[in-house]
């Protein structure tokens, strides 16, 4: 008498509960990860825009003049890369002129500055 251990039913209940918790937690994790990527990318776009405006003011450039990453790289605090899979500035963001907003190349529909 007195054999200790878990029965098969007890183990199945535990596995079912763990599966249920994972089913609830994983979609929430993915949603929060996507939200964090969007917020980080928008923050990067704002930083790029600020760097462009500061560069234009320092160099006395007007709104229609072209701007490149080499022009503004010293005005950026750190490497700016889209968190949705970018590996460099060039494959993450595109910039054209002083007055044009920077654009995300990875997720242009959702990673954009608010109007």
Encode 78-107: b = buried (16+ Cβ within 10 Å), e = exposed.
eebbbbbebeebeebbebeebeeebbbebb
For residue 88, what pLDDT band results from cuts at 50, 70 and 90?
very high
Q: What percent of the chain has pLDDT over 70?
A: 97
With a CB cutoff of 8 Å and minimum separation 6, the contacts of 51 are 72, 75, 76
Question: Which helix H or strand E contains 94, and what residues bound it?
Answer: strand 93-94
Give the Cα separation of 75 and 30 in Å (integer).
33
Instruction: Round to whole Å and give the CA distance between 44 and 48.
Output: 6
Q: Is the pLDDT of residue 1 over 60?
A: no
Mean per-residue pLDDT, 89-109: 95
pTM score, two decimals? 0.78
Residue 105 has pLDDT above 60, yes or no: yes
């Amino acid at each position: 008498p007195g054999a200790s251990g878990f029965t098969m039913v007890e183990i199945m209940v535990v596995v079912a509960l763990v599966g249920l918790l994972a089913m609830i937690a994983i979609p929430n994790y993915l949603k929060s990860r996507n939200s964090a990527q969007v917020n980080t990318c928008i923050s990067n776009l704002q930083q790029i825009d600020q760097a462009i405006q500061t560069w234009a003011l320092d160099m006395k450039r007007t709104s229609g003049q072209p701007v490149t990453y080499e022009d503004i790289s010293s005005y950026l605090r750190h490497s700016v890369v889209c968190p949705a899979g970018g590996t460099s500035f060039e494959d993450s963001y595109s910039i054209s002129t002083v007055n044009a907003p920077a654009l995300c190349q990875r997720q242009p529909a959702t990673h954009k500055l608010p109007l």
